[in-house]
Chains A and B, each alone.
Chain A
Amino acid sequence: MFAHSGLVLLVICAAFFLPKVLKLSTELSMLIAAIAGAAAHSILIAVTDSPHDAVPLIPVRHIVEGAFTYFDVCLIFLTATFFMALLRESGGVAFIVRKIVSTFHARRTVCLLLLTFVLLIPGALTGSGATTVLTVGALVGSVLSAMGVDETRRIAIIFLGAAMSAAAPPINLWAMMAAAGANMPYVGFGKPLLVLSVSGALFSMFWLAGRGESKIDLKAVLAELPEVEEGQSWLRVALPFALLLGLILAGRIWPFSMPVLGLPLIFMISSFLVVILSPRRLNIWSIACSTVHNLSTLVGIMIVVGILIQVMALSGVRGLISLEVVTLPLGVLFATLFIILPLSEGLVQYAVAPLIGVPLIMLFNMRGLDPIIALSAMSVIWPLGDCLPPTAVVGRAAVLELDYRGRYYLDFVRACLVPMAFIALTGTLFLVFSTKLSFLGG
């Protein structure tokens, strides 16, 4: 079986990189890789004396089933972006940016603290870094621009803030999924996640934007910012956000009487309020079309990743990769997890939690580490991989949202390296000293 799954893995890699060389997009290359992997699996079973069940050359059921793995996540991407696009078109984003700059232009540190807080909220509540980018990314980016932060540092801040927001409590999907897989209650994760994610977000913000003029030339900056529609007010801008937050919190405060709406519907209800309160008439159809168009790459990659994971599970490739990771010696694991975790996140997204998170947490538990602290540490390192190939979901979303023109790896990812190292280091220290830090999980 090792030879079988190893060969299928080789076919998947070759079929992924060949179309890439021919300049096909990542999504198409990955789809071709998944189909080639499935075909190789089918052929290998047919031509060897394998006792395993025959599989069609193209296992249609598995391809379609895998395509729906991240259906809910895609719906959240689409509706959250639509909400922010409506807000932007109504002039709400420009209004908020101007107000923040006007109020805090003389206090850079306070302004950066406020922006860190704004970045952390959406992902902390939804567990999705992409939601942070799509809802407040452009807004925070505009304020940073007004503060004189260059575009590469801006996108790095938005990405790292989004990554830490996804890691922040109360909702950390990696920890929740791995805890569910290991039959641990999702309890006690709040403090370790808070310490790690907030320190990571603050370090990122001040490392990348801390230096600069403490005072901003208000007149010059305001002149560069878009004008605000007449009639726009705090009430018109804040009410949709208040509704969004209110509907999310209502589900927590009254979980047994509040109907389950789901984030996509919550974003759509809030979008409806943006339309009603907008001082200018909005072309909803056109905004919806451009939202879907802008996100087609992001949604496409999520669909194809689902297909690839299903094929990898079918052919044993997923098991092979998991097995190779969990059988590494503990010392080697500690020394390499800060690389393995982001890389695997870049490969399979949230599916990494059940894929290697569950075996790892069971391994750590068996070796006497504190499973809550260890899983919290891993769950803060994982989102760093959201700017890495082949998926790079949050990184790509940030590029789209901020209309970034620089080089992806040589500029953007490079700018993230020092804060990433800080986050990975604190995460690794938490992992190694998890037993001594177990009081945080109490």
Chain B
Amino acid sequence: MNISLKTVKIVSLAVSVVFAGIAGLEFYEHRHFREAVVPSPNLDEVKKLSDYEPSLKDSVNDSNVYVFDSGVPGGTALILGGTHPEEPATNLTASLIVENAKVEEGRLIVVTRANRSASTCSRMGEAYPAYYSVKTNWGEKKFRMGDRCSNPLDSWPDPEVYLHYPSRQMLAYMDIRNLNRTWPGRPDGLLTERTTWAMTQLIRQEKVDIAIDLHEAELEYPVENTIVTHEKGESIAAMTSMVLTAELFEVPLSMEFSPKALHGLFHREVGDHTEAISLLAEVAEPMLDRIRGITDEYLLMTGRDEFVMKAGEHKLLYAPIDERGWPIDVRVGRHSSTVQKILEFYSMENPDRAVVISGVPGYGEVIENTLGAYFHNPEEAPEGSVYFD
């Protein structure tokens, strides 16, 4: 080796080490960033997923379980946000509920970061921003942007092919880290399977009557702006979809049944393996489209994208989009109203197991006042009333 080549190699190595150091520090900060949550004063207790599956104790997925108990007899509802942390309207809606809910009848259980591990890394090759912020009256409230699947640092390696438990259906290898492909889970599985197992146990032990999982989807995807329901939730989903479409939403909310042949999904397995009614709500997120343009926090929060609009002109989309995009306030507002309407119709159908909540802003309020108006300043919160996700 001549000297010049040696020099090139040493310089290359030095540059690589510097790059790895800078990026490593960013990855470390992202993984350990703590999202403050200031629950409403009506919070009863905060449990952990490890209370339902001990192997999760002190693990990255030992997520907070916020329990609101009205003290009035009724049913129990569960709301999941952050199943896929690349879909921010889901954990933001769950946080909005936790910070504002008052339960009048029955109990409400909320998990804001259902797959916390997946929120500690962003998807390789997708160039996602590391964080996003919501503007509030007291400053910016910052959140981790995440991946669809659990962090490989927490669950690695993947098998060559993932066989779902218990159906043995063959799925893509990375789906063993996808929380919405590992229901109902198993106690001796990998991290993501143990996480869904913990939540299945939560549903069983807490006698959850109705469970709602929140999602966002690309506009190219046919399951869009809809409620996917297990057969048990047919009438509730139908009524919710009809009323919200007729009275509130600019873009219709549809309803469809959970496919029986597709396994591992929340709406199928929770309905099949527990007593609960399971429903999954989807809203449009242009940043998930493969045909999107510049990828950054601006696109994530505004949902404005010329390329996606162009695809719409070619009739390649399942949801409308124009210059206004799909702002985060619209997406969170839709989810918030959808959750509230589902609980309203559930309670009408099951008056002896009703879950009645108030205080949570709906579609109109979130759009009018912005989402940030409903988040509370953790620095001004009473001592001991701030939790971290």
Contacts and interface: CB of A to CB of B under 8 A. Distances in A.
A186 B170 CA distance: 6
A365 B169 contact: no
Interface in B129-187: 129-130, 156-161, 163, 165, 168-176, 178, 186
Contact of B296 (A53, A60, A68, A310): A53
Interface in A280-313: 306, 309-311, 313
Contact of B298 (A52, A318, A320): A52
A195 interface: no
A265 B52 CA distance: 33
B220 A359 contact: yes
A170 B170 contact: yes
Indicate the size class of the contact surface on chain B.
35 or more
Most chain B beta carbons < 10 A, residue from A170, A185, A310:
A185
Contacts of B159: 251, 255, 260, 262
B297 interface: yes
19 contacts: A1-B306, A4-B294, A45-B294, A61-B22, A63-B23, A66-B124, A66-B127, A171-B161, A183-B223, A251-B159, A256-B189, A306-B124, A309-B125, A310-B127, A320-B293, A326-B314, A327-B314, A359-B316, A366-B222
Contacts of B170: 170, 185-187
A231 interface: no
Contacts of A255: 159, 163, 165, 168
A323 B307 contact: yes
Contact of A53 (B20, B23, B24, B129): B129
Nearest to A323: B291
B129 A359 contact: no
Contacts of B289: 319
A60 B298 CA distance: 20
Interface in A228-262: 248, 251-252, 255-256, 260-262
A365 B161 contact: no
A354 B294 CA distance: 17
Interface in B280-315: 289-299, 305-307, 310-311, 314
A64 B172 CA distance: 25
5 closest cross-chain pairs (CB), A and B: A262-B157, A64-B23, A316-B293, A314-B127, A176-B172
A269 to B, nearest CB: 13
A176 B316 CA distance: 22
Interface of B: 19-20, 22-24, 26-27, 122, 124-127, 129-130, 156-161, 163, 165, 168-176, 178, 186, 188-190, 220-223, 261-263, 289-299, 305-307, 310-311, 314, 316
Main secondary structure of the interface of A (DSSP, over half): helix
Given A187-B170, A326-B291, A362 B307 contact: no
Contact of B307 (A51, A260, A320): A320
B49 to A, nearest CB: 21
Most chain-A CB neighbours within 10 Å: which of B130, B169, B310?
B310
A1 B170 CA distance: 40
B160 to A, nearest CB: 6
B175 A61 contact: no
A4 B298 CA distance: 16
A326 B316 contact: yes
A194 interface: no
- Bin chain A's interface residue count: 35 or more
Nearest to A125: B160
B168 A53 contact: no
Contacts of B23: 60-61, 63-65
B12 to A, nearest CB: 10
A322 B290 contact: yes
A52 B263 contact: no
Contacts of A314: 127, 294-296
Contacts of B24: 64
B293 A65 contact: no
Contact of A182 (B173, B178, B221): B221
A388 B382 CA distance: 63
Interface in A353-378: 354-356, 358-359, 362-363, 365-366
B103 to A, nearest CB: 33
Interface of A: 1-2, 4-5, 41, 45, 50-53, 55, 60-66, 68-69, 72, 125-127, 170-171, 176-177, 179-183, 185-187, 248, 251-252, 255-256, 260-265, 306, 309-311, 313-316, 318-320, 322-323, 326-327, 351, 354-356, 358-359, 362-363, 365-366
Contact of B171 (A186, A262, A318): A186
A187 B316 contact: no
Nearest to A128: B160
B222 A265 contact: no
A72 B20 CA distance: 18
A52 B325 CA distance: 14
A314 to B, nearest CB: 4
* Main DSSP-derived SS at the B contact region: loop
Nearest to A309: B125
A356 B289 CA distance: 11
Residue among A45, A50, A263, A316 with the most chain B CB within 10 A?
A316
Contacts of B27: 61
A127 B27 CA distance: 30
Given A60-B19, A61-B23, A359-B290, 20 more contacts: A2-B307, A4-B293, A5-B307, A64-B24, A65-B23, A69-B124, A185-B261, A186-B170, A251-B160, A252-B161, A255-B165, A260-B158, A263-B157, A263-B160, A306-B125, A314-B295, A320-B293, A351-B125, A356-B290, A359-B316
Given A127-B160, A252-B161, A311-B127, A63 B171 contact: no
Nearest to A255: B163
Contact of A66 (B125, B221, B306): B125
Contacts of A171: 160-161
B160 A310 contact: no
A407 to B, nearest CB: 27
A315 B294 contact: yes
Given A260-B159, A359-B290, A366-B316, A61 B130 contact: yes
Nearest to B161: A171
Given A63-B23, A359-B220, A313 B295 contact: yes
B158 A262 contact: yes
Contacts of A263: 157, 160
B83 to A, nearest CB: 13
A61 to B, nearest CB: 5
Contact of A1 (B124, B156, B158, B293): B293
Contacts of B160: 125-127, 171, 248, 251, 263
Contact of A316 (B26, B122, B176, B294): B294
B158 A72 contact: yes
Contacts of A306: 124-125
A362 B127 contact: no
A252 to B, nearest CB: 7
A306 B123 CA distance: 12
Contacts of A68: 124
A361 B261 CA distance: 19
Contact of B263 (A185, A315, A354, A359): A185
Contacts of A252: 161, 163
B221 to A, nearest CB: 7
